[in-house]
Amino acid sequence: MANNKIVITAKGVTKVYNPKTIPVEALRGVDLEVGKGEFTAIVGPSGSGKTTLLNILGGLDRQTSGTVEIGGVDISNLSENKLIDFRRDNIGFVFQAYNLIPVLTAYENVEFIMLMQKKSKEARLKRAMELLKEVGLDEQANKRPAKLSGGQQQRVAVARALASRPRFVLADEPTANLDSVSTANLLDIMARLNQEEGTTFLFSTHDQRVIDRARRVVTLDDGKIISDVWA
């Protein structure tokens, strides 16, 4: 098991869409703890609740009932503005569609969150270039996303996710649009960052290549955890 220090605690989390019309239960009483340094995959069939759970753990959506604590902070009770600030400073996100800002260079995309944190120019430059070098893209720093391959864009997204030194990184189907070589490169990078920097990674995925690299696999079905296995 990873470091015993728990960074995420979900208790009795439910999510019901359309509660006043035709209710759809996306999550049904999920309990989950994630420790510092984990490299964990959340798996299950389409509609099982993977992305919903990830969005709630990341504060992108709110649960219908239950609680979510990040580093001991109950994010369920935060106002929208405080939740935005909390996400910025504590959680990194990697999305299936990359979600890079097209008019910014790779460097500027990585730097952006540090600008929001009001970090100095020197600190932004140092951290952004260190991360771009980590993901093998320091020589592409001045290119905009349209000039980068899908695999390169996703590596920029990983660097951006780590820029604020978050408590953990949430990755929603991060390899879905990548070929086998790009997927292997991306997983190598994330596994190295996990090992060397102790960064916690939590994936939602259908990709067996990701599942094979995970050290813990949590399986959802019909909104419930049905299996939780450590490699």
CA proximity to 84, closest of 121, 117, 131: 117
Residue 20: how many other CB atoms lie within 10 Å: 6
Residues 6+ apart with CB under 8 A from 30: 10, 12, 13, 14, 49, 53, 66, 220, 223, 224, 225
Residue 198 belongs to a domain with what CATH number?
A: 3.40.50.300
pLDDT for 4: 66
141: containing domain: 6-230
Phi-psi region at 128: left, alpha or beta (left = phi > 0; alpha = psi -120 to 50):
alpha
Phi then psi for residue 218, to 5 deg, are -105, 120
CA proximity to 155, closest of 188, 122, 108: 188
**What is the b/e burial string over 106-122, where b = at least 16 CB atoms within 10 angstroms of the residue's CB?**
bbbbbbbbbeeeebeee
Give domain status of residue 207, yes or no.
yes
Alpha helices in the chain (DSSP H): 50-57, 80-90, 106-116, 121-134, 150-162, 180-197, 208-213
Give domain status of residue 225, yes or no.
yes
Query: What one-character DSSP code corresponds to residue 148?
Result: S
Pairwise CA distance, residues 47 & 45, whole Å: 6
Pairwise CA distance, residues 113 & 28, whole Å: 34
Give domain status of residue 1, yes or no.
no
Q: What's this model's pTM, rounded to 2 decimal places? A: 0.91
Give domain status of residue 147, yes or no.
yes
- Domain total for the chain? 1
Pairwise CA distance, residues 129 & 9, whole Å: 33
pLDDT for 130: 95
Q: At CA 229, angle to CA 225 and CA 231, rounded to 5?
A: 155
CA proximity to 167, closest of 80, 98, 71, 34: 71
pLDDT for 3: 52
Phi then psi for residue 131, to 5 deg, are -70, -40
Give domain status of residue 222, yes or no.
yes
Give domain status of residue 116, yes or no.
yes
How high is the mean pLDDT in each 10-residue block of the chain (231 residues)?
Answer: 78 95 95 97 95 96 96 92 94 93 98 95 97 95 97 95 93 92 93 90 95 97 97 83
Length of the chain counted residue by residue: 231
